[in-house]
Amino acid sequence: MTGRTGTPQDRGCMVGIIFFILGLGTLLPWNFFMTASLYFQGRLNKTEFTNGTVAVRKEYYFNNWMTLLSQLPLLLFTLLNSFLYQRISEAVRVAGSLVFILLLFILTAVLVKVPMEEDRFFSVTMATIWFINSFGAVLQGSLFGLVGLLPLKYSAVFMSGQGLAGTFAAVAMLLAIASEADSETAALGYFITPCVGTLVTLFSYLLLPRLEFAQHFLKRSGKYEEGTTDELLKEGGRVENGKLNGHANGTVSSNANKSSSQAEAEEDGSPKTRQPFLSLEQIEKEQAKSSVVEVFKKIWVMAFCVTFVFTVTLSVFPAVTVDVKTSFPGKWERFFISVCCFLIFNVNDWLGRTITTLIQWPRKESRLFPALVVSRVVFVPLLMLCNVQSRSYLPVLFTHDVAFTAIMALFSVSSGYFVCLSMSYAPQMVKPKDAETAGALMTFFLALGLSIGAALSFPLRALV
């Protein structure tokens, strides 16, 4: 079934649904490990050492190390993926990454039931986080390049799916906490959930090439180059026996392609006109994709924006925000961080990404866009002045849960909105043949922002 322009229809919005699921699957690893910080801290904070008469608990700084060791491989392997995508097929990169992520999630679920000394458990968990995010980086970079070949709205749908991944993880954690099962069984059920989610993501990806609408756009990058060659040859000459008819110097004469009107004009003595002719070198240049540097020069503002947004976000979330304490101790205390930190952040982050499907302001050419992105830095001191415990230097200005929740809501909705706009705008600023390169570059700068933010979380948490 095709539309008026001959483009197949996305029947039942199946391609949109699949890209939503793929977006969800790319951020499941990061969000499930981050949201489970209370489980990991519970397993790591059992041992106390006696220093004379004072009991000292070993501090692992799990949230800081988890954030850093999640984002460093994301940065390194996103950079690596920008070279791999031309050498390793997209199917191998995407399907292979999903299979390894599934295996690492299964390992994490099994470890819930395996008694282990705290230092060893910390080391194994950090290694798992490193490898699962390495494969996640290759997966995310490949899918950003893939979705860049489709109409713009599919990039927004993909980003919306990424935003919902955190909400999915937060709801799973809330259900685990609210269940009557013991802590081990609840944690096991929690980590089985992303195993199922990763399987669904893998099957969704395998279904994508079978859909006519997806086939039309995903194969267009190859057809684009073929079509370009045809058009150029029509303008400059003709192909005969695999060779171009033309002058001996390699250029293509227009004499063979003159229209009858042009011939008549020449016979009448009117000025002679010539069609432009192109050399083989010019044809190849038109076909070739732009270099990475050329693409970067066109999208550097968007690259800066996505880097800065994630630098601000990861510098305080979750390393600082997860240590905020409720002003209403009691039963609510068990749910406070899961609801007011993780659920509020992820719901509003998803909302911010989704808003971009309806509103895209400021425009990509506007100087106001990077100015608003930079203004988000105000959230860093605001969140540090909430009731973060323990603290050594800064005072507490916002003690009430409502104040923390309101700041978190604005912080997260602005993060999702500006990230999605930056990632959507970048492919529009280059030619279609360079959209995949732009997507890979933007993914690298996204990872760079996450890594810088993760590194900044150490001094910022210490400053509190």
Q: What pLDDT was estimated at residue 84?
A: 66
For each of the chain's 464 residues, which pLDDT tens digit applies?
555 556 788 888 899 999 999 999 998 888 888 888 878 888 887 655 555 555 556 778 888 888 888 888 877 887 776 666 667 788 888 999 999 999 999 999 999 989 889 999 999 999 999 999 889 888 887 888 788 788 878 887 888 888 788 888 889 888 888 887 777 888 888 899 999 999 999 999 999 988 888 888 877 654 444 443 444 444 444 444 444 444 334 333 344 344 444 444 444 444 444 445 555 555 555 557 788 889 999 999 999 999 999 999 999 998 899 999 999 988 898 889 999 999 999 899 889 988 888 888 999 999 999 999 999 999 999 999 999 988 989 999 999 999 999 999 999 999 999 998 998 899 889 888 887 788 778 878 988 898 899 889 999 999 99
Tell whether domain 11-218+289-463 is in CATH 1.20.1250.20. Answer: yes
Q: What pLDDT was estimated at residue 2?
A: 54
Q: What is the 3-state secondary structure (H, E, C) of the chain?
A: CECCCCCECCHHHHHHHHHHHHHHHHHHHHHHHHHCHHHHHHHHCCCEEEECCEEEECCCCHHHHHHHHHHHHHHHHHHHHHHHCCCCCHHHHHHHHHHHHHHHHHHHHHHCCCCCCHHHHHHHHHHHHHHHHHHHHHHHHHHHHHHCCCCHHHHHHHHHHHHHHHHHHHHHHHHHHHCCCCHHHHHHHHHHHHHHHHHHHHHHHHHHHHCHHHHHHHCHHHHHHHHHHHHHHHHHCCEECCEECCCCCCCCCCHHHCCHHHHHHHHCCCCCCCCCCCCHHHHHHHHCCCCHHHHHHHHHHHHHHHHHHHHHHHHHCCCCHHHECCCCCCCHHHHHHHHHHHHHHHHHHHHHHHHCCCCCCCCCCCCHHHHHHHHHHHHHHHHHCECECCCCCCCCCECCHHHHHHHHHHHHHHHHHHHHHHHHHHHHCCCHHHHHHHHHHHHHHHHHHHHHHHHHHHHHHHHC
Q: What pLDDT was estimated at residue 86?
A: 66
0.85 exceeded by pTM: no
The domains of the chain are located at 11-218+289-463, 222-266+274-286
